[in-house]
Structure 1
Amino acid sequence: MDFNRIKEKLNILADAAKYDVSCSSSGSNRKNKNNGLGDTGNGICHTYTEDGRCVSLLKILLTNHCIFDCAYCVTRKSNDIQRAAFKIQEVVDLTINFYRRNYIEGLFLSSGIFKSADHTMERLIAVAKKLREEENFNGYIHLKSIPGASDELMYEAGLYADRLSVNIEIPTISGLKLLAPDKKHEDFIKPMQKVKDEIIRFKEEKKIIKSTAKYAPAGQSTQMIVGATGESDKDIMYSATHFYKNYKMKRVYYSGYVPISTDSRLPSLGSEVPMLRENRLYQTDWLLRFYGFSVNEILDADNPNLDMDIDPKLMWALRNLNHFPVDINKADARMLARIPGIGMGSVHKIINGRKYRNLNWEHLKKMGIALNRAKYFIICNSSDWERRDLDAAKIKGMILQSQNGKFKKQFNSQLSLFN
């Protein structure tokens, strides 16, 4: 093996892969067998697991050659960049060697599309197949599903990969037509539908035949580029909801567009999407999936974009003060989950705790509730209530002032460690 050549390819193709954020490996439970290599645990992701453990994936492109010329993509065919391509065996060797050195626990493999969608997908599958069958590798494998790939190839991919993902790229069909006119929306949808159908079919067969093989046990995910076109946060979240509902996505990822060209269809160079906008979208995503909110409660025609100063749950509460105050000792779980400063873990603590006593401020504080926000929206077994006659603007200002004071106190505390 020419190590210098491999290192050069790795530098090029790992850097090109950084724009794809949809490589969380949460949810797989593939176990080691026959004294093989690797063991995929629950909660693995490319940064931290749910228990706080840092996990790394080898995240690369098979090649950055591409037959398409999508305006938003750094690997588009018209872009003047250094090109490279791995051989199938080179990716296999890299994965095994990195794993043996404890650098990684799995592989995230994507690719530019060269020759055709099926040709590219075949090569991605060949890497996963070699790892599973020839190297007996049982670690995590995430394969990017190539838009337009055949049903037969998508079926085979799910037999070797823990997770599959097709990036929808642009949240709306009109945006895709503008920036990637050579691509068709249905080419993204077709592999998603196939993966969804096969996951359902394999689960049903597993109930009857226990020895049925696993098919994409960590499910499928997708990614949307935020800020390349003029979609509002409302447009983005309605699209995300569509994919969660209709294609049973495990995750939808939101990736802020990084300006890479002077194309007139794109935002100007230097106008990067603030990371805070991504963060607000993820917070909204969480509210929709776990807190019982619907998109139209948070975002509508009058409020198509999220507030960058405050989180979306607080934004909703300030617009709906008529629902408050909520009596902590009487409200149901749905309403408790809508109170700013109270997470789902705290909801369960409140419901369990009030079985034995009427809860007061001190009880809530011990449960870990963020009272600097929650106190304006709740009453409990205590005489005072913080909101009184405050309007939404005043409450927002007081919460922001409290948060800024908290951050300043934390900063000064950390700074004192160096004095």
Structure 2
Amino acid sequence: MREVYPLKEDLYERLMVLADSAKYDVSCSSSGVDRKSNKQGLGSAKSYGICHTWAADGRCISLMKVLLTNNCIYNCAYCVNRVTNDVERASLTPEETALLTMEFYRRNYIEGLFLSSAIEKNADDTMEKMYQVLLLLRKIHHFNGYIHIKVIPGAQDTLVQQCGMLADRMSVNMELPSRESLSLLAPQKDPEKILLPMKQIHHQIIDNKDARKYLRHAPSFVPAGQSTQVIIGATPDTDRRILSVSEQLYTRYQLKRVYYSAYVPVNEGPNLPSLWTKPPMLREHRLYQADWLLRYYGFTVSELFSKNTENMDTEMDPKLAWALAHLDSFPVEINTATYSTLIRVPGIGDISARRILKERRIRPLDFDGLKRTGCVLKKAKHFILAKGRYYGEKLEFDTIKNNLVERPLVQQISIWG
């Protein structure tokens, strides 16, 4: 028999308020977890992920993305839920949150839960309530679906550890990429308190993996890893600064993902962009492209920026920009180039590079043969040789840029002039 909790009549009204308050948090992703259902429990988590995004097969993945409360003691200048804002406030109890998750799952509305919260009293109180939600879902309702939980910086290590044994993914939002930015817009937040739980989660993931080598049935600690979110455009932090922070997080704490969120002006303030400022969506897109190069293509931040450059060229993707700045490394012969060289060629990605390596074992590839590998030949032809022949117009900066860069009719204007 299912547990029955007393629910207030305004439950769904409060849910709407808290779901709307959670929409600015973008750091949710596919789970990377494959946990099957069983006769004793309900639900499952698949490796293609549980989130409000698009799966690799094109499916739209859904989850209940909600705050436990939007009552906050902090007054972060950029946040819609800051204590001085006159917004509708609401809270859910752990029992209500667990029950809503189960009822929505049974109705096939969602496939999992993304749970965050404002800080109503203090970090420990909020983290304890979030732990109670996980405990109810996993131990009382036997819910096996995907759960992503936000860690509250400053909460006790024990609470973080307990949540990590029940959640699939955890994230600690940096929000702003530098101490100066935090001091300017969120002076109540301590940078060290943000980094400490990241470090703790990283070490416990490693320790848990080592323990599971000897105890195969031991419970997993955050099997889908950890992530974070950085707001861009609210402060003058440059692309180089932002990506340098991401590079350090990937290196030190092996984060699965850093999410970049274009700042949406919701508040007025002397240190904030104007309310009429458009979110820097193109800049966000370029940061994601550069981040991909850092994580999968072996690039470093120092390679993506020249000595005196602080921001990326929004006219072109960062891989093309790098290639144009290093024309002395091109063209490369596709029949002899290594994998690491091939994936640095604009228009050639991981899959097409592997296909090239496979195809050329059988026969040398010419330009027509390249079409079978999935390369974007419109780009790649300017940087490669096929059986010694160059198919581009001319290996020269302006020529290639004019051929590949489509300039928008209206140029994007920087919020900082």
Shorter chain as denominator, the TM-score bin is over 0.9
The 8 Å contact of residues 65 and 112 in structure 1, kept in 2 or not, is answered as yes
Q: Which amino acid aligns with 2:114?
A: F
- The match for 2:335 among 309, 329, 339 is 329
Deviation at 1:46, TM superposition (A): 2.1
Q: Over aligned residue pairs, what C-alpha RMSD do you find?
A: 1.5
Equivalent positions of 1:100-115 (< 5 A) are: 100-115=106-121
From 209, 212, 232, give the equivalent of 1:206.
Answer: 212
- Map of 2:30 onto structure 1: 25
1:340 aligned to which of 342, 346, 349: 346
Does residue 289 (structure 1) correspond to residue 295 (structure 2)? The answer is yes
One-letter amino acid of the structure 2 residue matched with residue 373 of structure 1 = K
Pair 1:379-2:385 in alignment: yes
Per-residue deviation at 1:2? 5.6
In structure 2, the residue matched to 1:63 is: 69
Please tell me whether the aligned partners of residues 381 and 390 of structure 2 are also in contact (alpha carbons under 8 angstroms): no
CA distance in structure 2 between the aligned counterparts of 1:202 and 1:31, rounded to whole angstroms:
20
**Paired residues of 2:138 and 2:166 also in contact (CA < 8 A):** yes
Aligned equivalent of 1:316, options 322, 333, 352: 322
Q: CA deviation at 1:313?
A: 0.3
Structure 2 partner of 1:410: none
**Structure 2 match to 1:78:** 84
Q: Is 1:118 aligned with 2:114?
A: no
Q: CA deviation at 1:400?
A: 2.6
Aligned residue for 1:146?
152
- Distance between the aligned counterparts of 2:173 and 2:390, measured in 1? 51
One-letter amino acid matched to 2:382: Y
Task: Note the alpha carbon deviations across 1:351-403, whole angstroms, 9 max, x for none.
Answer: 11111111011111121111111110001026453143x521221111135x9
After superposition, the C-alpha distances for 1:87-129 in whole angstroms (9 at most, x for unaligned) are 1111111101110010100000000001110100000010011
The runs of 5 or more residues in structure 2 that have no matched partner are 1-5, 409-417
* Equivalent residue for 2:57, pick from 44, 51, 57: 51
**Structure 2-normalised TM-score?**
0.94
User: Quick check: 1:306 aligned with 2:312?
Assistant: yes
Query: Which stretch shows the higher mean deviation, 214-223 or 38-47?
Result: 38-47
SS in 1 for 2:165: helix
TM-superposed CA distance for 1:4, in Å, is 5.0
Q: Which residue number corresponds to residue 19 of structure 2?
A: 14
Map of 2:415 onto structure 1: none
Give SS of 2:53's match: coil
Structure 1 runs of 4+ aligned residues shifted over 4 Å read: 1-4
Q: 1:365 aligns with which of 371, 380, 405?
A: 371
The offset of 1:156, in angstroms, is 0.1
Equivalence for 1:231 = 237
Tell me the TM-score normalized by structure 1: 0.93
Question: Following the alignment from structure 2 to structure 1, what is the Cα–Cα distance between the partners of residues 325 and 309?
Answer: 10
C-alpha spacing 1:26/1:300, structure 2 compared with 1 (3 Å) = farther
Tell me if structure 2 keeps the 8 A contact 1:375–1:385: yes
Corresponding residue number in structure 2 for 1:414 = none
In proportion to residue count, which structure has more helix? 1
Contact 2:384–2:390 (CA<8 Å) still a contact in 1? no
> 1:3 deviation in Å?
7.0
For residue 278 of structure 1, what is the aligned residue in structure 2?
284
1:37 aligns with 2:23: no
Segment drifting more, 40-49 vs 22-31? 22-31
3-state DSSP of counterpart to 1:160: coil
Q: Is this contact kept in 2: 1:326–1:377, CA < 8 A?
A: yes
Aligned counterparts, 1:259-274, within 5 A: 259-274=265-280
CA distance in 1, matches of 2:207, 2:368: 51
Structure 2 residue identity aligned to 1:13: L
Matched, 1:94 2:94: no
Q: Point out the more displaced range, 269-278 or 376-385.
A: 376-385
Corresponding pairs, count: 402
1:397 to 386, 396, 402: 402
Question: 1:143-193 CA distances to partner (integer Å, 9 max, x unpaired)?
Answer: 100011111001001011100000011011111111111110011011111
Task: State the percentage of identical aligned residues.
Answer: 48
Q: Which moved more, 1:294-303 or 1:199-208?
A: 294-303
Q: What do the CA deviations read for 1:288-347 (whole angstroms, capped 9, x no partner)?
A: 111111101112442211111110000000111000001000111111011000010011
- Show the counterpart of 1:409: none
Amino acid at match of 1:276: L
